[in-house]
Amino acid sequence: MRAALKATAPAAPRTEAQLLARAHALAGRTIGELGGEAGIALPPDTRRDKGIIGDLVEWALGADAGGADAPDFTELGVELKTIPLGPGGKPKESTFVCTIHLDDAGDLEWAQSRACRKLARVLWVPVEAGPELPLAQRRIGAAVLWTPSEAQEAALRADWEELSGLIGEGQLDQITAHLGACLQVRPKAANARVRGNARDAGGAPVRTLPRGFYLRTSFTASVFAEPDA
């Protein structure tokens, strides 16, 4: 999504240090302040504008991918993810990673996968969340520029290989969000009637609900518990 941001965004950061400095400068600021600077009127809540916070932070930091299948900061190869934190500092929601190409999921290596590329370098920007907290009052927290530790990448890879393997074998019907210790497969569509291309166990084309990879909250919590991990 792309909100109707009226004000001019800052130029894309040229170095990771510059990006991180900008992100740190956002700590303590509110979504209301960002909305004002961007020149937009905030919606009353996020029910109809679920991506509004992500859009505002993208704008404030100078993300330049603009809806393309590329890192948010194209020159730096850094992906931006805002993450809602509850009162206890724990993630309140899972994190969408990418959609899954269901018709050729078995033909790829982890290292070349979209999931791996998206997660190779991520700037996590935590934002206070909770239905009791008005959108404009939600504060931005301390950003973390992250690369998976060896253990984290191994866990991600194991889940990805298991899930991609099942999809590649046409076992999509057996995949639920219960699978995967850190990475899970869930629907990613406008509604449950949407169909996309996949393959059955015999390799024949079938139409099914589009899916995406998501990070469990227990995994993203480890990002903030071990910034250097």
Q: Provide the binding-site residues for DNA, judged by CB under 7 A.
A: 1-4, 45-51, 53-55, 57-58, 65, 67-69, 72, 79-84, 93-96, 98-99, 101, 114, 118, 127, 129, 131, 176-178, 184, 186-197, 209-210, 212, 214, 216-218
Backbone angles phi, psi at 101, to 5 degrees: -80, 95
Q: Shortest distance, CB of residue 161 to DNA, whole angstroms?
A: 18
- CB closer to DNA out of 52 and 152: 52
Q: Report the amino acid identity of residue 125.
A: V
- CB closer to DNA out of 1 and 41: 1
- CB closer to DNA out of 24 and 195: 195
Q: Shortest distance, CB of residue 2 to DNA, whole angstroms?
A: 4
Tell me how far apart the alpha carbons of residues 20 and 13 are, in angstroms, rounded to a whole number. Answer: 9
Q: Shortest distance, CB of residue 194 to DNA, whole angstroms?
A: 5
Detail the DSSP E strand segments found in the chain.
79-85, 95-99, 122-128, 144-146, 183-187, 196-199, 205-208, 211-215
- CB closer to DNA out of 51 and 203: 51
CA-closest candidate to residue 16, choices 119, 114, 121? 121
CA-closest candidate to residue 162, choices 97, 115, 220, 98? 115
